[in-house]
Amino acid sequence: MGVRQEDTSGEIKHLKRCLNDLVSVLALPAMWSGSQPSQIVHTLLDALLDMLCLDLVYARLQDPAGGAPIEVLKIAPSANWMLPDEVHKTLNQWFGDDPRKWPARLRASIIDQDISIVSQRCGLHGEIGIIVAGSDRADFPGQAETLLMSVAANEAVIGLHEARLLLEQKRVAGELDRRVAQRTTELAAVNDELRKEIAERHRAEEALLENELNSRLILHSIPGLVCTMSPAGEVDRFNPQILEYFGKTPEELKGWAIGNAVHPDDLRRVVAAFTHSITTGTPYDIEHRCRRADGVYRWFQVRALPVRDTADRITGWYVLLTDIDDRKRAEDAIRASERNLNQIVNAIPALAWSARPDGSAEFFNQHYLDYLGLSADEAKNWGWTAAVHPDDRNALIAAWQRMLTADQAGDCEGRLRRSDGEYRWFLFRTNPLRDESGKTFKWYGTNTDIDDRKRAEEQLRRSQAFIAESQRLARLGGFSWRVESGQITWSDQLYRIFEFEPGGLVTLERIGSRVHPEDIPLLGDMIERAQRAAGDLEYEHRLLMPNQSVKYLHLVAHRTQVQDGRLEYIGAVQDVTERRLAEEALTQARSDLAHVTRVTSLGVLTASIAHEVNQPLSGIITNASTCLRMLAADPPNVEGARETAKRTIRDGNRAAELITRLRALFRKKESRTEPVDLNEAAQEVIALSLSELQRNRVILRPEFADDLPVVTGDRVQLQQVILNLLKNATDAMSAVNDRPRQLQIRTERGTDDQVRFTVQDAGVGLDPQAMDRLFQAFYTTKNDGMGIGLSVSRSIIERHHGRLWAEANDGPGATFSFSIPPRQGGESDAG
Amino acid sequence: MRDEQPRMIPCSLVSVVDDDESVRESLPDLLREFGFIARSFSSAEEFLASECVGQTNCLILDVGMPGMSGPELQRELKLRGQHIPIVFITAHRDESVRPQVLAQGAVACLFKPFSDTALLEALNTALQAN
């Protein structure tokens, strides 16, 4: 600090300095050009601090850019004891917040140091801010210093204003640049868009062109008939195929009505659909037959779609006709085939089904469902097994499982319940259906009703068993014998009877080897009769078995004609050995009994006669003895003798009466007289005796005259004679074993016009010496005979005015004959 | 009926049992001629009921009779302890009867008609045995 007022030169010097300072301050804005406001403030404060030798300078100025106030404090290096924070605080205490109210001058103390403070407002009303200067000089501020302060404040305002203008200018220029850049970007984008659009359009055009080419290509090569139609349904464009198919020129096609191309049967339907589509604009889709150029109708699927413009108006129709004839035929064929198959499946007289590989059922034909009375749902899978008979169910399912496991077709039987509850037998037949690899993917099966067969089988089995058992029990064997071929069929039982190996070949030779040698003639006779087809056969003959036992067989056979007209005997052979033995035993017993009876009855008769006669005889003799004794007495007892003699006579008469009574008792009864056909009578007798004859192995050869006259007589008596002659002949042959026991019975008209009956046997024959006694009563050559038969027979024949005689044969045996006169119209005196 | 003394074996009672009347008429006369006392009965029952059973020295008995037969009477008498000699007579020439009755103790069996000597012989045998 110096003393300036004392010295004028100092004053001038001081002034000069002031002027310099002023110039410096005025030059400041030039420096500030382009500077930031804060830079302006800093430059200004530095200039003031330096020019005014201040201890501190402070500015708070509005930022011309509109930011926060620019506040700068500068402290001179010589006053570095002042701390900026203390200064700020002190300034705020001094002046408050509003710088416009700050006092222009102030003496204050900062940190115990007195200091002069000057504030200079900036702007017209201080609105720009304030500049504060401080110095410890007491004279502060001088005039020059105040001027400088004021100029500096103005310059600051100007500088800040310029700075503000510059900033504004800069801001506007930036904005302009930004806007230009933005607009440029926008334009570039639009440009890009346009380029893209152009490229796109170009491509679209190319595609369109390609498409057009393709469409034409497609249209011409499409395997179908294509055309377009006007909204009214008239054909306008078409592909060549359509012309080719219908055989039309383009001109013809354009003026074409569909009528002559559509099958008459489809026409009505087609017209209706077509009209409907054209009228309503709805797509058209129909299948119908179109006539080809050659007149053949083929099925087509015809589809038409309307084409619309932006206003949704129909501008035309696209029509595609696709030939579906082959498909249609195939479909028809398949349908027909399916229908056919279905019909077959439902018509086959069996229950048909299919099953999956696991055995569960998936399909049943209608028959099956109808039979079960179940719906397909109820029967499917394993539902059907509920209808299997409980006794068969397990076995049936097991059999099914076995087939599934074995993967092989099979069959089994079981009963299925019908809807009415009745069980019927079925044959279940299954078959696997395999794919190419051989894997079963389905099973098919049929169940055939075999109930009738089963029952018949059962019946047959039962009746066969029954027959076999019956045959076995009855010892009855069946056979058939084709005489010409010699083919003989036997039942099992017959093999058993003959003790041949069952099923072995049967020949007459083999049979002959078993037949009892004595019965071989019977066999020969049978064969001979069969060959003559003489009628039914009935024989009894014996077998001689290898163990020498004898079997008695009874054979009956019926002659039949088999289909080819050849002769066949169907017959039965019964082993009657036991019966025969029993019969023989019985016959023997009967015979014995008969003998005993005869003897007994004769004895009884004799005894009776004797008793009846002996009683009176006894009386006679006793009386006679008494009489004699009485007469011999002395004297003779005459009275007694007379009495006994009377009694003798009486008893004699009694005996005579007795004889008369006996004669009456034995007198023959009246006989009947009638016309008798001897043939008939003889046949009756033969019929009665047949079994007896056969039992005695007698081969009967009847020869009956056809023209035999009728005789008159007692039929029964004549039959007794015939029976007696047959019996005698049979008996006469009973011991014959070295030749056939042949018995010939003959009726004939004799040379003397008599009716003759002859029985010729091959028996023991007649003893010539006995011939004359033959017909006497009680003469017999038989050990069991009565010797009455022939004598009675002769008396019967004689009563018929005939005669009975016997002759020895040339060969073995004898012939007995009788002849009686034929009936003479009305004459009947026999008996 | 006359009381005539029997000559050969006097006073013996001979009973005749026979259903035949002619025998009952004739035989007692002959027996009396022989000297026996003779009684006749038409049936075995009648004889058994009479007092003669115990007195009869010889019985001439018919084999076949209605009711009780001769052999049955023979058995009955044996059961009663009446050992009367019996001479059977019969009109039936049944040889089987004779050994049967003889085996039962009969003295003889005569077939009707028999001679007086044969009868007398049988009676003598019977009475001797008695």
pLDDT tens string A177-189: 888 888 888 888 8
Partner A contacted by B91 (CB < 8 A): yes
Instruction: Find chain A residues with C-beta within 8 A of B27's C-beta.
Output: 622
Residue B48 main-chain phi, psi, to 5 deg: -60, -30
What mean pLDDT is predicted for residues B20-49?
91
Instruction: Find chain A residues with C-beta within 8 A of B111's C-beta.
Output: 614
Topology classification of domain A222-330: Beta-Lactamase (3.30.450)
Give the closest residue to A401 by CA, choosing from A428, A438, A374, A372: A428
Both tokens assigned to A602: 């004769």
C-alpha distance from residue A233 to each of A219, A227, A228, A248, A309 (Å):
20, 11, 9, 18, 17
What is the C-alpha to C-alpha distance for residues A770 and A772, in angstroms, rounded to an integer? 6
Burial, A757: exposed, middle or buried (Cβ in 10 Å; 0-12, 13-18, 19+)?
buried
Residue A29 pLDDT class (50, 70, 90 cuts): confident
Instruction: Find chain B residues with C-beta within 8 A of A647's C-beta.
Output: 22, 25-26
Partner A contacted by B7 (CB < 8 A): no
The pLDDT of residue A667 is: 43
Residue A7 pLDDT class (50, 70, 90 cuts): low
| β-bridge mates for residue A752, sequence order | none
Query: Do A621 and B115 count as a contact with CB atoms less than 8 A apart?
Result: yes
What is the C-alpha to C-alpha distance for residues A81 and A75, in angstroms, rounded to an integer? 9
What is the C-alpha to C-alpha distance for residues A738 and A719, in angstroms, rounded to an integer? 31
The pLDDT of residue A587 is: 58
Give the start-to-end residue ranges of the domains of chain B.
13-129
Q: Per-residue pLDDT for A620 more than 60?
A: yes
Topology classification of domain A348-449: Beta-Lactamase (3.30.450)
CA atoms within a 13 Å half-sphere pointing along the CA-CB vector of A238: 24
Query: Do A625 and B27 count as a contact with CB atoms less than 8 A apart?
Result: no
Instruction: Find chain A residues with C-beta within 8 A of B23's C-beta.
Output: 615, 618-619, 622
What is the C-alpha to C-alpha distance for residues A155 and A147, in angstroms, rounded to an integer? 12
CA atoms within a 13 Å half-sphere pointing along the CA-CB vector of A826: 0
What is the C-alpha to C-alpha distance for residues A43 and A33, in angstroms, rounded to an integer? 12
Query: ipTM value of the model?
Result: 0.84
Query: Do A640 and B29 count as a contact with CB atoms less than 8 A apart?
Result: yes
Top-confidence residue, A566 or B83: B83
Given a contact cutoff of 8 angstroms between Cβ atoms, the answer to whether A119 and A130 are in contact is yes
- In chain A, the residue whose alpha carbon lies closest to the alpha carbon of B23 is A619
Q: How far is B54 from chain A, CA to nearest CA, in Å?
A: 27
Partner A contacted by B96 (CB < 8 A): no
Q: Per-residue pLDDT for A782 more than 80?
A: no
Tell how strand B13-17 and strand B58-62 pair up. Answer: parallel
Query: Do B29 and A611 count as a contact with CB atoms less than 8 A apart?
Result: no
Query: Do B115 and A617 count as a contact with CB atoms less than 8 A apart?
Result: no
Q: Per-residue pLDDT for A105 more than 80?
A: no
Topology classification of domain B13-129: Rossmann fold (3.40.50)
What mean pLDDT is predicted for residues A45-69?
79
- In chain A, the residue whose alpha carbon lies closest to the alpha carbon of B29 is A626
Q: Per-residue pLDDT for A521 more than 80?
A: yes
Residue A154 pLDDT class (50, 70, 90 cuts): confident
What is the C-alpha to C-alpha distance for residues A123 and A127, in angstroms, rounded to an integer? 6
Top-confidence residue, A432 or A126: A432
Given a contact cutoff of 8 angstroms between Cβ atoms, the answer to whether B109 and B90 are in contact is yes
Q: Per-residue pLDDT for A582 more than 60?
A: yes
Q: Which of A615, A622, A627 to mutate to test the interface with B (most CBs of B within 10 A)?
A: A622
Handedness of CA B9, B15, B18, B21 (dihedral sign): positive
What is the C-alpha to C-alpha distance for residues A140 and A27, in angstroms, rounded to an integer? 24
Please tell me the CATH code under which domain A8-174 is placed: 3.30.450.40
Residue B48 DSSP symbol? H
Q: Per-residue pLDDT for A14 more than 80?
A: no
What mean pLDDT is predicted for residues A658-672?
54
Give the start-to-end residue ranges of the domains of chain A.
8-174, 222-330, 348-449, 457-575, 583-666, 674-820
Q: Residue A78: which residues within 8 A CB-CB, separation 6 or more?
A: A55
C-alpha distance from residue A88 to each of A132, A137, A622 (Å):
11, 20, 222
Tell how strand A105-110 and strand A70-75 pair up. Answer: unpaired
What is the C-alpha to C-alpha distance for residues A738 and A104, in angstroms, rounded to an integer? 202
| β-bridge mates for residue A353, sequence order | A364, A445
Instruction: Give one DSSP letter per residue of A595-661, joined into a string.
Output: HHHHHHHHHHHHHHHHHHHHHHHHHHHHHHHHHHHHHHSSS--HHHHHHHHHHHHHHHHHHHHHHHH
Given a contact cutoff of 8 angstroms between Cβ atoms, the answer to whether A400 and A407 are in contact is no
CATH superfamily, region A674-820: Histidine kinase-like ATPase, C-terminal domain (3.30.565.10)
Instruction: Find chain A residues with C-beta within 8 A of B116's C-beta.
Output: 622, 625-626, 629
Query: Do B25 and A615 count as a contact with CB atoms less than 8 A apart?
Result: no
The pLDDT of residue A825 is: 62
The pLDDT of residue A147 is: 78
Both tokens assigned to A785: 């005979």
Partner B contacted by A522 (CB < 8 A): no
Radius of gyration of chain B (CA): 13
Count interface pairs A-B at CB distance under 8 A. 70
Q: Choose from A200-204, A315-319, A682-686, B41-45 the range with maximum mean pLDDT.
A: B41-45
Buried b / exposed e across A348-375, counting CB within 10 Å, b at 16+? eebbbbbbeeebebebbbebbbebbebe
Q: How far is B78 from chain A, CA to nearest CA, in Å?
A: 28
Query: Do B23 and A629 count as a contact with CB atoms less than 8 A apart?
Result: no
Among candidates B23, B33, B94 on the partner chain, residue whose Cβ is nearest the Cβ of A618:
B23
Topology classification of domain A457-575: Beta-Lactamase (3.30.450)
Q: Which of A457-461, A678-682, A815-819 has the lowest mean pLDDT?
A: A457-461
Partner A contacted by B116 (CB < 8 A): yes
Q: Per-residue pLDDT for A831 more than 70?
A: no
Among candidates A607, A618, A630 on the partner chain, residue whose Cβ is nearest the Cβ of B113:
A618
Q: How far is B32 from chain A, CA to nearest CA, in Å?
A: 9
Q: Residue A174: which residues within 8 A CB-CB, separation 6 or more?
A: none
Q: How far is B114 from chain A, CA to nearest CA, in Å?
A: 7
Q: What is the pLDDT of residues A267-309, one digit of tens each?
A: 888 888 888 988 888 888 888 888 888 888 888 888 888 888 8
Q: Which of A626, A637, A653 to mutate to test the interface with B (most CBs of B within 10 A)?
A: A626
Both tokens assigned to A559: 């002659």
For chain A, give the mean pLDDT: 80
Top-confidence residue, A794 or A670: A794
Q: Which amino acid is at A392?
A: D
Instruction: Find chain B residues with C-beta within 8 A of A630's C-beta.
Output: 33
Buried b / exposed e across A413-441, counting CB within 10 Å, b at 16+? bbbbbbeeeebbbbbbebbbeeeeeeeee
C-alpha distance from residue A406 to each of A164, A330, A516, A735, B31 (Å):
111, 38, 61, 76, 121
Q: How far is B118 from chain A, CA to nearest CA, in Å?
A: 11
Query: Do A625 and B111 count as a contact with CB atoms less than 8 A apart?
Result: no
Partner A contacted by B33 (CB < 8 A): yes
Q: Angle A328-A331-A334 (CA atoms, 0-180°, nearest 5)?
A: 150
What is the C-alpha to C-alpha distance for residues A538 and A523, in angstroms, rounded to an integer? 11
Query: Do A615 and B29 count as a contact with CB atoms less than 8 A apart?
Result: no
Burial, A797: exposed, middle or buried (Cβ in 10 Å; 0-12, 13-18, 19+)?
buried
- In chain B, the residue whose alpha carbon lies closest to the alpha carbon of A617 is B113
Q: What is the pLDDT of residues A689-720, one digit of tens each?
A: 766 677 678 889 999 999 899 999 887 778 87
What is the C-alpha to C-alpha distance for residues B20 and A619, in angstroms, rounded to an integer? 9
Q: What is the tally of helices (H) and strands (E) in chain A?
A: 20, 27
Residue A360 DSSP symbol? -
Among candidates B26, B30, B93 on the partner chain, residue whose Cβ is nearest the Cβ of A610:
B93
Cβ neighbour number for residue B123 with a 10 Å cutoff: 24
Given a contact cutoff of 8 angstroms between Cβ atoms, the answer to whether A67 and A80 are in contact is no
Q: Residue A524: which residues within 8 A CB-CB, separation 6 or more?
A: none
What is the C-alpha to C-alpha distance for residues A608 and A292, in angstroms, rounded to an integer? 132
Radius of gyration of chain A (CA): 82
Cα A75 off chain centre by: 122
Q: Which of A604, A613, A614, A644 to mutate to test the interface with B (most CBs of B within 10 A)?
A: A614
Which alpha helices (DSSP H) does A281-429 contain, by range? 325-347, 366-372, 376-379, 390-406
Q: Which of A617, A625, A642, A650 to mutate to test the interface with B (most CBs of B within 10 A)?
A: A625
Query: Do A615 and B22 count as a contact with CB atoms less than 8 A apart?
Result: yes
What is the C-alpha to C-alpha distance for residues A741 and B126, in angstroms, rounded to an integer? 64
Q: Per-residue pLDDT for A816 more than 90?
A: yes
pTM: predicted TM-score of the whole model, two decimal places: 0.31
Residue A141 pLDDT class (50, 70, 90 cuts): confident
The pLDDT of residue A787 is: 44
The pLDDT of residue A688 is: 64
User: First vs last Cα of chain A: how many Å apart?
Assistant: 228
Given a contact cutoff of 8 angstroms between Cβ atoms, the answer to whether A64 and A167 are in contact is yes
Partner B contacted by A641 (CB < 8 A): no
Among candidates A615, A616, A625 on the partner chain, residue whose Cβ is nearest the Cβ of B116:
A625
Q: Choose from A534-543, A574-583, A740-749 the range with maximum mean pLDDT.
A: A740-749
Q: Residue A111: which residues within 8 A CB-CB, separation 6 or more?
A: A81, A82, A83, A86
What is the C-alpha to C-alpha distance for residues A521 and A539, in angstroms, rounded to an integer? 12
- In chain B, the residue whose alpha carbon lies closest to the alpha carbon of A648 is B26
Residue A6 pLDDT class (50, 70, 90 cuts): low
Percent of chain A with pLDDT over 90: 5
Top-confidence residue, A333 or A597: A333
Cα A553 off chain centre by: 56
- In chain B, the residue whose alpha carbon lies closest to the alpha carbon of A609 is B92
Say whether A674-820 and A222-330 share the same fold. Answer: no
Percent of chain A with pLDDT over 70: 87
Partner B contacted by A627 (CB < 8 A): no
Instruction: Find chain B residues with C-beta within 8 A of A651's C-beta.
Output: 22
Q: Which amino acid is at A535?
A: G
Both tokens assigned to B105: 């103790």
Q: Per-residue pLDDT for A608 more than 70?
A: no
Partner B contacted by A653 (CB < 8 A): no
Q: Per-residue pLDDT for B129 more than 50?
A: yes
The pLDDT of residue B2 is: 43
